[in-house]
Amino acid sequence: MVDPAKDTAAVLVGDIFSDEAAEAGLDFVHFNGMSGDYYMAEVTGAGVGLLDYDNDGDLDVYLLQGAMLGPGKTIDDAILPPPGEPPFKDRLYRNDLGDLDIGDGRLSFTDVTEESGLEATGYGMGVATGDFDGDGWVDLYVTNLGANQLWHNNGDDTFTDVTRGSGAGDELWSVPAAFFDYDGDGRLDLFVGNYIAADFDNRTICRDLAGGLDYCGPGAFAPLADRLLRGMGDGSFEDVTEAAGLTGGFGGALGVIVADFNGDSKPDIYVANDGMANNLWLNQGAGTFVDEALLAGCALSGQGKAEASMGVDAADYDGDGDLDLFMTHLTGESNTLYLNDGSGLFEDASVDSGLGPPSRLFTSFGTGWFDYDNDGLLDLLTVSGAVKKIESQARAGDPLPLHLPNQLFRNLGGARFRDVSAEAGAVFELSEVSRGTAFGDLDNDGDADAVIANNSGPVRLLVNHVGNRNHWLGVRLVGAESLVDQLGARVALVRPGGEVLWREVRTARGFASAHDPRVLFGLGEDEGYDFVRAHWPNGGVEEWRGLESGRYHTLRHGQGSRIESE
Amino acid sequence: MRGIRTTRRSVCPVLLVLAFLLQGCGGASREGAKRASLVSIPVPDLVSATDEVREQLRAQQNELDRLLEGDLSSAELVEAFGDLGLLYITYSFLDAAEVCFANAERLVPEDHRWPYLLGYIFEIQGRLEEAERVLVRAAGLDPADAPTLIRLGRVRLEQGRYEEARAHFEGVLAIDSGSAAGIDGLGKAAAGLGDHSGAVEYFERALELQPTASSVHYALGLAYRRLGDLELARKNLDEGGDGAVLFVDPLLQPVAQLGRSAELYLVRGAQAFAIERWEEAAAHYREALAIEPENFTTYKALGFCLQKLGDLDGAIDLLFEAIQTGASTDPARDRLEHSEIYRILGGLTALQGRAGKATELFQTSLELNPDRPDVLSKLANALSRQGRFEEALPHYNRALELIPDHTEFLVQRATALTNLRRSREALSDFRRAVELEPENALVRQQFAEVLEFLGDDGAARREREAAIRLAKQGGGQVDILFREALALVRRGELEPAVGKFGEILEIEPGHTDARFQLASVLGHQGHLDQALAEFEQVISEAPLLRSARRAEITILLLQGRYGDARVRLNRALEALPRDRQLAMAFVHLLAAAPDARVRDGRLALEVAQRIYAAGPADPQVVETLAMAYAEAGQVAKAVELQRQLLEQVSAAGNGGLVNRVKLRLAAYEQGSAWRATSPREIIEANLAADAAGNAEPGSMSGT
């Protein structure tokens, strides 16, 4: 492990990340359809998804597209040039890296949208991944400004839209979504976070303090109710929102994390709401939830203010075995780190951790915990772009005066972080309107890369050049019968001396994005560890010893040594 | 040296130019160096700003340009930079404001105002290190400036430097020991340092000093949680709101007066509303409406302000206007919001005792947003108040289907069932409610009332005793006493009711409802002086409470104090200029009072014409106008109007009214005005005006 006092980021040679999207063939450019009417939706999306749709062992990329907005608008009205001819649709890029063992860092993507059968022409917001029918092929749920879509992976490199009749459709403005098994029946359920009720036929006009046109804030619209859909096991879903007690207190949802926050082994739901109190729906068992965010201290900022709350992620960053929350907010607010005391009560540790102050100049969306340098400590990336005109950019005549650079925060240990963006590479000098980001080891070289979805701009592929200088161990937790990623599973890597690295199998996190389901343990300079222990989502603990470091292992439910005491 | 205007390319080709370029003109002179040090002000993007804003900025910039032509040591020039900076802050053009203050500081570096204002900008932008740097400079220039220390303390808190923050807030208290901002800051520093007991003490004190600073409740709630007191934690967290801890900030005070856009007034209104400054909030919202009359949100916000001010009629008018304005272009939002407004309108009309109207409004609310349990129960309550218990039951049932174990709904349904003599079901609901909340004093009290109604006096007594015991333990005593007092009034037991209201007011002197009820009971008992004193107190607490205003005037008339009645009516109309009922009462007094010193025909006619012009011209309004014409000496006009009125009311077949109209017509036909001969006739005239309602827009005072 790295000595926390010794900040290795400063001594790393060369860039930590570089953008290799163009070289790798990831040529997607987002189009937001803005035409001068300041529709809020045009600056809201979009997320990005990483998934291995063809089960070939590497992560493919799903990117969400926009469209023209507003009645009667055509691309001739577009202020920013469209990427080609309409209709615009989401794109699926196949990763041609191939075999797991190659890991040579040469990435190459092919746009396979047309042959995949994906016909996602909605105004894209977010994406969730999960194998809802348990057939071993990961499926997609796409949230839109308008009708959402459930895409079934046919297992032959194609998808079928099975929304109709599935009960998973939603015509509202949805942003985040997450597959999870809230009732422990072994079938994936779905949480859909809905945002606000905006009508594009009748534009709501918002102005800045001088009376100039500007984008509206969420307060100009009514927040929409989120939905909890119970997976019936036959590919259909039942709306159990009301029955589950999710009956009020909704805000405009932009982020969602499903995880066990209070240590009772039942998955809870944390919803990050834009400008309104966040929800912490604690799972009561028997299929019901109660919102305890206020008492838990994670409804509002430490100052008692409802903040913008865009992206959110949860992880055990301080190694005490519970899940802490990190959220991104608006300029003038600060990103928030909520430290869990183990019982599901949180303290705002934004200031003391060093994460708050450097974020106050930024409006950030996508985020996530990841150990970019494999030192065993979870770091953070925040990707940014404003939602209200930035004065200096507007003054300079920028048609989309919202761009900001992204930030990388290194975990120094001792619950302290440092902004290392300036040392992280030229890609951190870019100023763009970034929204979603997803983490995953796209080149299978043992460290976490990131894909960043920009609004009205090209996608960025941040390839990690430093992580695998340290030792690592990767695991994929799957079901007993098929290659179904065990969403919600917890994995502990126990090191000599008893230090434990806790990680979770979770794809839905950050801002409206889907991440690598695999777990990557950074081992630092010492590859030694005692064992890996998997806590399966529906009970049962198994242990593996002797897994070789420096490579990925698939851990199948039932094939480890069963541990009775936990 | 001259100010140079620039143009902007692309998006805003015609842009106001507010920048100046400074060129050295004095060679190596000090003046030249100073001039060269000044920085050009960035040009804000004003492409879609309102003309008024643009003009305001242009005028201020022109003034600065003019001064820049002259002597740089001019005090006026420095002030002009400051004024323009404040104007930019007003409209949130902070880049430009920053340059203004930086230039001012370059010209007069020893003036603490400029680093202070820069510190404010950096603080709100989150540029903490820069804020710290300039605020330290400001504090060095004026160590006794409390706002500087408050801001510096807050910046240190943001930086996690709690010890230093504490020192700054202690400095604030050395200057002003009653500074809520200083004490709140000490609380936050204590919390940061892990001293949660200390934090609790500071936060409690801050709240004592500034009860509207509802945001402190949140910090207090968290401090209690850290101390393990979850009950107080929850209570305070629930009470948390947006009310910030305010402090007097003379340098930024002008910002509150500078802006001229509807958005600014809306923001200020919301800020004032958050700290419960209802009058101030209403004034801001009225300004916003003057600039942008068709704004749904503003109508709604102003309506809520009036509700808070006790002006139920005004609030109702405005909320209806909000719905009719329909300025929102978001039907989905409108549907939900209109449903919410109808719900609130229902609540307001229910408060006015108009249960029938409330029923309609709750029904409309449910049509727009069905199955809201709270609205279903309110609809059922409104029906119950009209004795329509059978109709109320299905709504209670539906509400309880949606939230099965809702204590309040159970109690309400039980009460309806009791009235329908379905005692067994009622008792079952009550028992369930008591089972759910055995410690709820109010539920026990209501249970006692029902048991009493059903004749089970023993059980009723036991429940009442339990209720009182619980109320004393839990602090809900006032609610119980109030219910008991109202029950006594209903039963006609006025003397004990007076005692109960007195008890309530001893515990909670600001309980306006209790004081109003007490005054009413005293009036009924004929204790007019005491009643008047209580009503006056009510009016001082709730100046827009019409019922209190009317009651006060009625008592004065009953006492024959016409002069005092005129003065109070005048005041009432100043507070409630749109109140037609009060305006008509004023005319009646001016036109028909037995006391000649009170009468004023000219003024009566002026006000009566205003009422008439505002419409509708119903019989009471016409009669009031005729009365005023007669007193003003224009008897022929009074005769003409009164004859028209006679035809109208005769056709309607209202015998009583016909006789009254005839009586007054006879007086006019004899060439004289009608005079009330007793206080009661004036009061009756007011009651007649009452029936005319009061829905006119526009001010009718003018006295």
Interchain proximity B329–A202, CB inside 8 Å: yes
**Preferred mutation among A224, A391, A419 to probe B, highest tally of B CBs within 10 A:** A391
Residues in chain B within 8 Å Cβ distance of A209: 90-92, 259, 261, 263-264, 267
Q: What residues of B are in contact with residue A199 (Cβ under 8 Å)?
A: 329-333
Return the amino acid letter for B214: S
Strand partners, A223: A196
- The answer to whether the beta carbons of residues B162 and B194 sit under 8 Å apart is no
A46: phi > 0 → left, psi -120 to 50 → alpha, else beta; which?
A: beta
Residue A248: what pLDDT? Answer: 77
CA distance B523 to B545: 17
Contacts of B287 in chain A (CB under 8 A): none
Contacts with B192 from chain A: Cβ below 8 Å: 351-352
* Residue A145 DSSP label: B
Residue at B617: amino acid letter: A
**Helix intervals (H) in A7-92:** none
Check residue A296 and give its pLDDT.
96
Q: What is the ipTM of this complex?
A: 0.90
Residues 6+ apart with CB under 8 A from A63: A28, A30, A46, A48, A49, A90, A91, A92, A93, A453, A459
Lowest mean pLDDT among A141-155, B326-340, B369-383: B326-340
CB within 8 Å: A297 and B225? yes
Reported confidence tier of residue B121, pLDDT bands at 50, 70, 90: very high
Residue A335: pLDDT band (50, 70, 90) is very high
pLDDT classification of A126: cutoffs 50, 70, 90: very high
- pLDDT for B415-471, tens place per residue? 899 888 888 898 899 889 988 888 888 888 888 888 887 888 888 888 888 888 887
> Worst-scoring range by mean pLDDT, B26-35, B165-174, B419-428?
B26-35
Choose the most confident range, by mean pLDDT, from A225-229, B314-318, B686-690: A225-229
Average pLDDT in the B341-360 region?
Answer: 87
Distance of alpha carbon A92 from alpha carbon A89, whole angstroms? 10
Residues of A in contact with B160 (CB under 8 A): 351-352
Partner A contacted by B371 (CB < 8 A): no
Selecting from B46, B124, B328 the residue whose C-beta is nearest the C-beta of A212 gives: B46
Structural contact between residues A64 and A47, judged by C-beta atoms closer than 8 angstroms? yes
Q: Which of A171, A208, A333 is the mutation pick for testing B, counting most B CBs within 10 A?
A: A208
CA distance A428 to chain B (A): 20
Shortest distance between the Cα of B346 and any Cα of chain A, in A, equals 21
Domain boundaries defined on chain B: 29-213, 566-686
Q: Are strands A552-556 and A471-478 parallel, antiparallel or unpaired?
A: parallel
Which residue of chain A is at minimal alpha-carbon distance from B129? A357
What average pLDDT score do residues B531-539 get?
A: 91
Query: Given a cut of 80, is residue B550 above it in pLDDT?
Result: yes
Task: Describe the strand order of the beta sheet including A490-494 as a list of residue ranges.
Answer: A500-504, A490-494, A531-535, A541-544, A561-563
Tell me which residue of B56, B49, B118 sits closest to B82, measured CA to CA.
B118
Residues A172-216 have pLDDT tens digits of 999 999 999 999 999 999 999 999 987 666 667 788 888 888 888
CA dihedral B270, B271, B273, B274 (to 10 degrees): 110
Q: Which two tokens stand for residue B613?
A: 């012009």
pLDDT tens digits, B586-641 = 898 999 888 888 899 999 999 998 888 877 778 888 889 999 999 999 989 999 99
Cross-chain Cβ contact B94/A392 below 8 Å: no
Residues 6+ apart with CB under 8 A from A125: A44, A45, A46, A47, A64, A143, A144, A145, A173, A174, A175, A195, A512
Render pLDDT for A69-95 as a digit per residue (tens, 0 to 9): 888 889 999 999 888 888 899 999 999
Report the gap between the CA of A523 and the closest CA in chain B (Å).
31
What is the average per-residue pLDDT within B255-260? 76
What is the helix (H) or strand (E) element at residue A409, kind and residue range?
A: strand A407-413
- Please report residues of A whose CB lies closer than 8 A to that of B124: 332
What are the tens digits of pLDDT across the range B658-671?
A: 888 888 899 999 88
The distance of Cα B307 from the centroid of its chain, to the nearest Å, equals 6
Instruction: Calculate helix-pair angle for B580-592, B562-575, nearest 10 degrees.
Output: 150
B580 vs B97, which has greater pLDDT? B97
Is A211 touching B (CB cutoff 8 A)? yes
Neighbours of A191 (CB within 10 A): 26
Query: What average pLDDT score do residues A523-549 get?
Result: 94
Count CB pairs under 8 A between chains A and B.
Answer: 146
Distance from CA of B95 to the nearest CA of A (A): 7
What ranges in A293-388 are assigned the alpha helix state H? 293-296, 350-353
pLDDT at B363 > cutoff 90: yes
* Residue B476 or B405, more confident: B405
Tokens 């939230």 locate to: B403
In angstroms, what separates the C-alpha of B63 from chain A's closest C-alpha? 20
Rounded CA-CA distance B430/B427 in Å is 5
pLDDT surpasses 80 at A273: yes
User: How many angstroms separate the CA atoms of B414 and B398, rounded?
Assistant: 14
Q: Residue B11: its pLDDT value, please?
A: 26
Cα–Cα distance measured from residue A260 to residue A246, given in angstroms and rounded to the nearest whole number: 17
pLDDT band at B105 (very low <50, low <70, confident <90, very high): very high
pLDDT at B653 over 80: no
B238, B240, B263: residue with CB nearest A209: B263
Residues of chain A with pLDDT > 90, as a percent, come to 79
> Who's near A492: CB < 8 A, 6+ residues apart?
A500, A501, A502, A503, A532, A533, A535
| Long-range contacts of residues B606-613, Cβ cutoff 8 Å, at least 24 apart | B606/B702, B607/B583, B607/B700, B607/B701, B607/B702, B607/B703, B608/B584, B610/B583, B610/B698, B610/B699, B610/B700, B610/B702, B611/B580, B611/B583, B611/B584, B611/B587, B611/B696, B611/B700
Residue A455 is classified by DSSP as: T
Contacts of B639 (CB under 8 A, 6+ apart): B665, B668, B669
Contact B230 A295 (CB under 8 A): yes
Nearest CA in chain B to A353: B160
Residue with tokens 């053009």: B93
Largest CA distance in chain B: 103
**Residue % of chain B over a pLDDT of 70:** 91
Q: Tell me whether strands A336-340 and A253-259 are parallel, antiparallel or unpaired.
A: unpaired
Length of chain A in terms of residues written: 566
C-alpha A201, offset from chain centre: 31
Domain range B29-213, CATH class: mainly alpha
Cβ contacts of A294 on chain B, cutoff 8 Å: 234, 237-238
Which among B171-175, B337-341, B521-525 has the top mean pLDDT?
Answer: B171-175
User: What distance lies between CA A531 and its chain's CA centroid?
Assistant: 28
User: Cα separation of A286 and B284, whole Å?
Assistant: 50
pTM over 0.80? The answer is no
Would you tell me which residues 212-241 of chain A have a C-beta closer than 8 angstroms to some C-beta of chain B? Answer: 212-213, 220-222
What does the pLDDT read at residue B532? 93
More confident site: B651 or A5: B651
The reported pLDDT for the residue numbered A104 is: 59
Q: Of B598 and B292, which is predicted with more confidence?
A: B598
Bridge pairing between strands A48-51 and A146-153: unpaired
Proportion of chain A above pLDDT 70, given as a percent? 95
**For residue A8, what are the contacts with CB-CB under 8 A and spacing of at least 6?**
A2, A373, A375
pLDDT-derived band at B127 (thresholds 50, 70, 90) equals very high
Q: 3-state SS string over A473-537?
A: EEEEEECCCCCCECCCCEEEEECCCCCEEEEECCCEEECCEECCCCEEEEEECCCCCCEEEEECC
- Best of B129, B218, B234, B297 to disrupt the A interface (most A CBs within 10 Å) is B218
The alpha helices in B491-545, defined as continuous H runs, are 494-507, 512-524, 528-541
Output the pLDDT for position A485: 96
Which stretch of A54-68, B11-25, B185-199, B225-239 has the lowest confidence by average pLDDT? B11-25
pLDDT beyond 90 at A422: yes
Query: Is the Cβ of B228 closer than 8 Å to some Cβ of chain A?
Result: no
Lowest mean pLDDT among B104-108, B543-547, B634-638: B543-547
Is the predicted pLDDT of residue B238 greater than 80, yes or no?
A: yes
pLDDT band for B14, please (50, 70, 90 cuts): very low
Count of other CB atoms within 10 angstroms of residue A343: 12
Q: Are A460 and A385 in contact (CB under 8 A)?
A: no
pLDDT at B439: 82
Interchain contact, B158 vs A356, CB within 8 Å: yes
Q: Tell me the per-residue pLDDT of A216-247, one tens digit each, with 9 for 90 and over.
A: 888 888 889 999 999 998 899 999 998 999 98
CB spacing of A361 vs B262 below 8 angstroms: no
- The helix-helix angle for B94-107 and B113-125 (nearest 10°) equals 160
Residue A144: per-residue pLDDT: 97
Per residue in A492-509, pLDDT tens? Answer: 999 998 899 999 999 999
**pLDDT at position B684:** 63
Q: Output the CA–CA distances (angstroms, integers) from residue A10 to A6, A215, A416, A522, in the order listed.
A: 9, 39, 16, 19
- Higher pLDDT pick, B266 / A24: A24
Instruction: Judge whether residue A27 has pLDDT over 90.
Output: yes
**pLDDT tens-digit map of A434-448:** 999 999 999 999 999
Strands A227-231 and A237-239, how do they pair?
Answer: antiparallel
Which of A203, A428, A175, A419 is closest to A312 using CA atoms? A175
| Chain B residues inside the 8 Å CB shell of A221 | 330, 332-333
Task: From A448, A537, A540, A528, select the one nearest A494 (Cα to Cα).
Answer: A528
- List Cα–Cα distances, B43 to A257, B35, B77, B559, in angstroms: 43, 19, 19, 68
In this complex, do B332 and A197 lie within 8 Å of one another by their Cβ atoms?
Answer: yes
Three-state SS at B510: coil
The pLDDT mean for chain B works out to 84
DSSP state of B426: H
pLDDT band at B27; cut points 50, 70, 90:
very low
Looking at residue A1, its pLDDT comes to 39
Q: How far is CA B577 from CA B146, B314, B348, B611, B700, in A?
A: 41, 10, 20, 11, 6
**CB-CB neighbours of B372 under 10 Å:** 20
